[in-house]
């Protein structure tokens, strides 16, 4: 190939958007889903984005609430449980104030989270607190030296309003 063709093929570009977003309950260490009252922890994972010739320097998630539960008591209980999950009852804490505002005037919110890329061989992921009955739309984007990728295809789901039932215990029957 001539020099022009080689230059075109090796041009560095913004990364491709991350693909294959998935969400699953965070394991509590005993094989169950980690929960704080009605608030559940969810791990969002995605396939590493194609860097298009420049190392990835950052990921970001856009977490949009797409629906709110109809039951105001469920919103209040979820906000109280979220404060406990965050480990704060201090009203001066910014996170506590944010959760308190959600309980008193619920409205769909959009949150952005910036993350460093994981180490070699690791899957990019982020743990979220999910409020019961809320609908979520999550998208991801990657950054390299050229700029940010487009947003990924959305991952959409609604958080459960009650904890999942425990798996049945199987009695060990002797032979």
Identify which of 73, 48, 42, 2 has the alpha carbon closest to the alpha carbon of residue 138. 42
Kindly tell me if the per-residue pLDDT of 5 is higher than 70: no
Q: What pLDDT was estimated at residue 93? A: 60
pLDDT digits (tens, 9 = 90+) for 140-169: 999 999 999 999 999 998 887 765 555 666
Q: Which of 129, 56, 53 is nearest to 88 (CA)?
A: 129
**What are φ and ψ of residue 44, in 5° steps?**
-100, 130
Cβ–Cβ contacts within 10 Å for residue 131, how many?
Answer: 26
- Mean predicted lDDT score pLDDT of the chain: 76
Percent of the chain with pLDDT over 70: 59
Higher pLDDT, 54 or 166: 54
- Identify the residue whose tokens are 């996170």: 95
Q: Which of 20, 22, 14 is nearest to 51 (CA)?
A: 14
Average pLDDT over residues 76-95: 61
Q: CA end-to-end span of the chain, whole Å? A: 74
Q: 71-85, 86-100, 119-133: lowest mean pLDDT where?
A: 86-100
Strand order in the sheet with 110-115: 110-115, 58-67, 135-143, 155-158
Helix axis angle, 72-86 relative to 94-104, nearest 10°? Answer: 170
Question: Quick check: 81 and 37 in contact, CB under 8 A?
Answer: yes
SS3 72: helix
């Amino acid at each position: 190939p001539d020099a022009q063709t080689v230059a075109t093929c090796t041009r560095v570009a913004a990364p491709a958007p991350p693909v294959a977003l998935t969400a699953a309950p965070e394991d509590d260490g005993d094989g169950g889903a980690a929960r704080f009252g009605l608030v559940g922890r969810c791990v969002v994972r995605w396939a590493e984005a194609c860097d298009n010739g420049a190392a990835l320097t950052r990921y970001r998630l856009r977490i949009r609430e797409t629906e709110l539960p109809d039951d105001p008591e469920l919103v209040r209980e979820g906000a109280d449980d979220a404060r406990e999950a965050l480990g704060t009852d201090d009203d001066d804490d910014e996170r506590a104030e944010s959760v308190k505002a959600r309980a008193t005037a619920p409205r769909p919110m959009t949150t952005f989270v910036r993350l460093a890329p994981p180490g070699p061989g690791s899957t990019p992921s982020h743990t979220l607190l999910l409020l019961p009955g809320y609908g979520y739309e999550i998208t991801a984007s990657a950054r390299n030296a050229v700029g940010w990728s487009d947003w990924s295809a959305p991952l959409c789901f609604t958080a459960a309003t009650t904890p999942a039932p425990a798996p049945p215990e199987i009695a060990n029957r002797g032979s």
